[in-house]
Copies of this chain bind each other. A is one copy, B any other.
Amino acid sequence: MKNIFPQGSAWINGEFVKLSEAKISILDWGFLRSDATYDVAHVWKGKFFQLDKHIDRFFKSTEKLRMPCKLKRNDLKKILAGCVKNANLDNAYVEMIQTRGMSPGFVRDPREATPHVMAFAVPFGWILKPEDFEKGLDIFLTNITRIPPSSVDPTIKNYHWMDLVTGMLDAYERGHQTAILVDENNNISEGPGFNIFSVDKSGISTPDHGVLEGITRQTVINLAKELGLEVDEKPIPIEMLKSSDELFATSTAGGVMPITKVSGKKIGTGKAGNITRQIHKLYWEKHTDPNWTLSVEDILK
C-alpha cells in the first residue's frame, strides 16, 4: 500500500506520524456517520495563506456541531506547521479534521464520544494546473441538487460529498474536468471543492445560497473591492451562467481558475477573461504580502 501515498505527513492521537500510519478506527463516528468537520489551508513558498481565517472557520464549525475544538489556536498552528515541515513541502495543502470520535461501547449517543482531532499535509493540489490557465476549466453542469441547507448546514465544512462525487463521475465519464451542481431552486450552487463566480454586463456575481462560505470566495470578494469592483451575492440561474462573459472557480486548491466551457459550450470567448485575470494576479500577489501570510518557520520558532 505504501507506494500509493503522496509525499506528506500527519498528526494524529497527539503525535506526528508518517502519512501512511495516520489511521482512524472504523468505529469513529467521523467515518460511520460522517460526523466530522474539516478545513484546508495552503502553504505557498513556505508561507501559510490566511491561516487564521481557516482556523476561525474550523473552530466555528466544531462549535456548530456541538463539539467545540479543545485545541488552542497556537497549538493547532504548530501542529499544522509541523506537518508541513515534516513533509518537507514548500507548497502544501494542509487539512485539519475533527471527528465526533468513538462512543464507548458503541452506544448511539454522539455526546458520549470523545472528539478526535487530526491533521495532514500533502503537496499543493490544483483543480486547474497553472500551465492550463489560458485553456481554463471545462465543466459539466449536472442536474444534481447540492445537499440543501435545510438538511446540512453548508457553513459547517463537511464531508457529505456523495452528490459532488456523483457529479465528478458524471463529468469525467463525459470527458469534462469537473462538475457544477444546482441548488433546490435550480440555480447554480457549487462544484466539488470550489465556489463559482459569473461576470456579465450586470457585474460580478456569486451564489448566495446553499454554498460553502469559501475563504477563497470571500477573498475574491475583497480583492474585487480593491480593484474597484463590486461582487453581488445573489442567485445565479442556469441561463445566466451559460450566457456569462466570464466564469471562474475559486478554491484553496488552485485559487482563481477560469471556467471556459460549460457542458461543452464556450463561455465568452472561450478563453480566460479579463476580470478573472486581474483577480487571479492580485490573488497570487497577496501570497508575498506579510499581512496575508505566516511562515511555517515563524510558527515553529
Contact = CB atoms under 8 A, between A and B. Distances in A.
A33 B125 CA distance: 16
B162 A152 contact: yes
Contacts of A105: 4-6
Contacts of A192: 108
B33 A172 contact: no
B26 A20 contact: no
A110 B32 contact: no
Interface residues of A, number: 66
- The quantity of this chain's copies bound in the complex is 2
Nearest to A93: B106
Contacts of A235: none
B151 A102 contact: no
B127 A108 contact: yes
Contact of A145 (B97, B125, B150): B150
Interface in A1-46: 1, 3-6, 8, 10, 12, 19-20, 22-27, 29-36, 38
B127 A31 contact: no
A165 interface: yes
Given A4-B105, A24-B26, A26-B24, A33 B144 contact: no
A255 B34 CA distance: 25
Interface stretch (A153-161, A216-224, A240-248): A153-161
A139 to B, nearest CB: 13
Given A108-B125, A161-B34, A23 B20 contact: no
A108 to B, nearest CB: 7
A265 interface: no
A152 B164 CA distance: 9
A20 B104 CA distance: 12
A66 interface: yes
B35 A161 contact: yes
A184 B3 CA distance: 45
A168 B120 CA distance: 30
Nearest to A37: B162
Contacts of A164: 33
A141 interface: no
A209 interface: no
Contacts of A148: 145, 148, 151, 184
Contacts of A1: 25, 102
Interface in A92-115: 97, 100, 102-106, 108-111
Interface in A137-182: 144-148, 150-152, 156, 158-165, 168-169, 172
6 contacts: A5-B105, A22-B25, A23-B26, A26-B118, A144-B151, A151-B162
Task: Give me the 8 closest cross-chain CB pairs, A-B, nearest first.
Answer: A23-B23, A33-B161, A34-B34, A145-B150, A4-B104, A6-B106, A147-B151, A151-B163
